[in-house]
Structure 1
Amino acid sequence: MTWNRLRAVSACVALGCLLLQTGAAAGARSSILWGVAESGLELGQGPKAGTNYPIPDPAYYLQQGVRLIRLPFQIERLQPQPEGPFDPAFLHAVQRIVQLDRHDGAITVLDPHDYGFFKLGGKSEDILRNSAAATAYVDVMRRIGATFAHDDVAIGLMNEPHTGSDIAYSAIWNRAIAAIRAAGFTGVILVPHAHWSNAADISPERPFSGHIVDPRHNWVLELHLYLDPDSSGTYRQPIANAEVGRQRLSGAIAWSRQSGIKLFLGETGAPPDSMGMSALHVVLSEVATAPDVFWGIALWGAGPWWPTDYPMRLDPTNGAMRPQFAALKAAFAPR
């Protein structure tokens, strides 16, 4: 074999290895469900669509290839009377979004966005402290399980509960899981971490302490991650450094690998300034390189009613893709 031919063969072998490595990396990324949180159904007060709240349209994000739409909603709008039937118009709006998502290959995360409370007689009651509210909450979760038993959805149990510990919430979550499963739903159930679902709380030294019982063993722990100093996501204070997301996620990633329980990063986001974008890129890289840990991720906040000066707005401004969404898209569809 001549030297030139030997060099050519070696180059082909090297290129083949590179393509295999690239393909493996792309395959790992594609196992993660990348998406956005589509706000609208949880906003404002009152029952009138278009006046009190908008009905979001996921078309823009679906066209860009996302595989997950997290859909926050107020329980009271779906079920106006505790333990009563669902409102037909509101249910139709939710079902239409679920159908649109499924048509374009995306899963819908149904997210009761009520922070651990349930309205009884017009008053928000803590499901940890009011047994009637807890019973009514379990009823609505049963109805959600039955209604969407054959749809391509994941069911979140509650957005950001925060008045008790994971141990305290476990009994209610297990009642809801049992009701959802008895209603025929076999898909993924998303269990929220207490304390606003703060990802920085979880580590091997401070493990998720809830004792979750799922007859189908098909649940994922939902965590949220914001990058400002108080982790609130208000961004009234600037992000301290680009590594803050990695620092706040490292313990949860280690715990997930130790426990074998996957994570859903149900909310994360950053403002579009240079430090915000640097920090967001680090978070997205952490997720992309841990497909054994992350079931999915939803970037906050998509939806038609976020103003143009909202730090985490994802909908296009004057037709231009927002840098945060461009970063997400680059993460799930790398060149």
Structure 2
Amino acid sequence: MFKNLLSLSLIISLLFFACSKSEEPDSGGNSGNKPEKKIVYFGVNLSGAEFGGIYPGIDGTHYGYPTEKDLDYFKAKGLYLIRFPFRWERIQPAMNGELNTTELEKMKLFVKAAEERNMQILLDMHNFGRYCIYCDGKDSKNNQYAIIGNSRCTIENLCDVWIKLAKEFKDYKNIWGYDIMNEPNAMLKTTPWFNIAQACIDAIRTVDTKTTIVVSGDEFSSAKRWKEVSDNLKDLIDPSNNLIFQAHVYFDHDTSGNYAKDYDEDGANIQTGVARLRPFVEWLQENNKRGFVGEYGVPDKDGRWLDILDAALKYLQDNGVNGTYWSAGPRWGDYPLAIQPTENYTKDRPQMEILLKYKSVWQ
């Protein structure tokens, strides 16, 4: 009896200790079911490294990396998860070739700076299921792209770059996940996104069995159309059982995020975001999958968009799904969705008022 009481006491103590270690964050995203006691990470995209459309381009002219000041600002706001978009063409200028050591070092410096601040990084290959096979270095309108599955950009090419990236980043303690491809869309019927994702999962697991792999939904990762275009992703197999499924959502009439019309013309209402997220969240719950919303954003020109954002994030939080706002980074300028602070990091954008209600917190 006394031995049993000691064992019970020890178990309770260990459980309490495990639940109290906020300095050791959960390694990946959250379930679509009832949240467990863990850190629910909300955060932002920190853009810049994927900018430009000119490849490889010139750092500081066509593209640029987010800075330590950016990290400091968002850490102070309690937004600890950073989705970090980068371009395949810059990190690997020739498919199947070696990684660009200069770009790799910049990425590592950024990841290390985040690690020092106890912030989590999601490495996001921001390529839309394509690779630029021709760029004249002058005008991105002249770029030519090959869709993955084409003979000029094969599944094996994507697997190759992710094997090399995983080898480089698997030992960092703050890699929240590998976002293997941003917004695949209009993929080849002969090479569907499911096949590509499964091959990439298998390839990564040959060198890294621990890091979370984040799989975007098909057709621009549409949350609204998830059951229609991404239902088959439930059949993906990860030998490490550590997948997270990613949707994106915007609240304008065509879900593009362009917000070309004003609020009244768009016909939006406060439940627009919730309605568009519901198919994805329901799918997570029905299939016992973990989910994440990697992009959502609203313009700062009408406060009613903020109300939609607020309702959408509350819905996600209530259902144990986290996300990252699109977007921040020092190169956005007057982009209306930008959450980048102004006046030398002293003035918040209007959207921050809402994001502060959904910080990275224990639940």
> Within the alignment, does 1:249 sit opposite 2:277 as a pair?
yes
Q: What SS class does the counterpart of residue 256 from structure 2 fall into?
A: coil
- CA drift of 1:231 comes to 0.1
Output the amino acid matched with 1:234: N
Aligned equivalents of 1:206, 1:169: Cα separation in 2: 10
- Aligned twin of 1:127: 148
- Aligned twin of 2:238: 214
Which of the residues 182, 185, 188 maps onto 2:206?
182
Output the amino acid matched with 2:215: V
Output the amino acid matched with 1:317: T
Contact persistence 2:42–2:360 (CA under 8 A): no
- Aligned twin of 1:91: 104
Aligned equivalents of 1:158, 1:42: Cα separation in 2: 13
- Aligned twin of 2:254: 230
Query: TM-score w.r.t. structure 1 length?
Result: 0.85
Output the amino acid matched with 1:311: P
Q: What SS class does the counterpart of residue 119 from structure 1 fall into?
A: strand
Output the amino acid matched with 1:226: Y
Which of the residues 71, 75, 85 maps onto 1:72?
85
1:214-256 deviation digits (Å, cap 9, x = unpaired): 1101001110000000000001023411110011111211111
- CA drift of 1:263 comes to 1.1
- CA drift of 1:185 comes to 4.5
- Aligned twin of 1:164: 187
- Aligned twin of 1:155: 178
- CA drift of 1:132 comes to 4.2
- Aligned twin of 1:323: 350
1:128-148 deviation digits (Å, cap 9, x = unpaired): 333643221110011111111
* Matched ranges for 1:5-16 at <5 A: none
Identity of aligned residues (%): 27
Contact persistence 1:267–1:298 (CA under 8 A): yes
Aligned equivalents of 2:38, 2:356: Cα separation in 1: 12
* Matched ranges for 1:54-69 at <5 A: 54-57=64-67, 58-69=71-82
- CA drift of 1:76 comes to 0.8
- CA drift of 1:288 comes to 1.5
Summarize the Cα distance change of 1:183–1:172 in structure 2 as closer, same or farther, 3 Å threshold: same
* Matched ranges for 1:184-333 at <5 A: 184-203=208-227, 208-210=231-233, 211-239=235-263, 240-272=268-300, 273-291=302-320, 294=321, 296-308=322-334, 310-318=335-343, 319-332=346-359
Contact persistence 1:29–1:288 (CA under 8 A): no
Output the amino acid matched with 1:62: K
Which of the residues 26, 41, 45 maps onto 1:37?
45
Give the number of aligned pairs: 303
Aligned equivalents of 1:66, 1:270: Cα separation in 2: 18
- CA drift of 1:89 comes to 1.6
Q: What SS class does the counterpart of residue 196 from structure 1 fall into?
A: helix
- CA drift of 1:260 comes to 0.7
Summarize the Cα distance change of 1:86–1:192 in structure 2 as closer, same or farther, 3 Å threshold: same
Query: TM-score w.r.t. structure 2 length?
Result: 0.78
- Aligned twin of 2:113: 100
Summarize the Cα distance change of 1:221–1:94 in structure 2 as closer, same or farther, 3 Å threshold: same
Summarize the Cα distance change of 1:40–1:188 in structure 2 as closer, same or farther, 3 Å threshold: same
- CA drift of 1:208 comes to 1.6
The one of the two structures with greater contact order (alpha-carbon pairs below 8 A, sep at least 6) is 2
Summarize the Cα distance change of 1:285–1:29 in structure 2 as closer, same or farther, 3 Å threshold: farther
Deviates more, 1:50-59 or 1:188-197: 50-59
In structure 2, runs of 5+ residues without a counterpart are: 1-34, 136-143
- CA drift of 1:275 comes to 1.2
- CA drift of 1:120 comes to 3.6
Contact persistence 2:82–2:122 (CA under 8 A): yes
Q: CA RMSD in A?
A: 2.1
In structure 1, runs of 5+ residues without a counterpart are: 1-26
Aligned equivalents of 1:48, 1:82: Cα separation in 2: 20
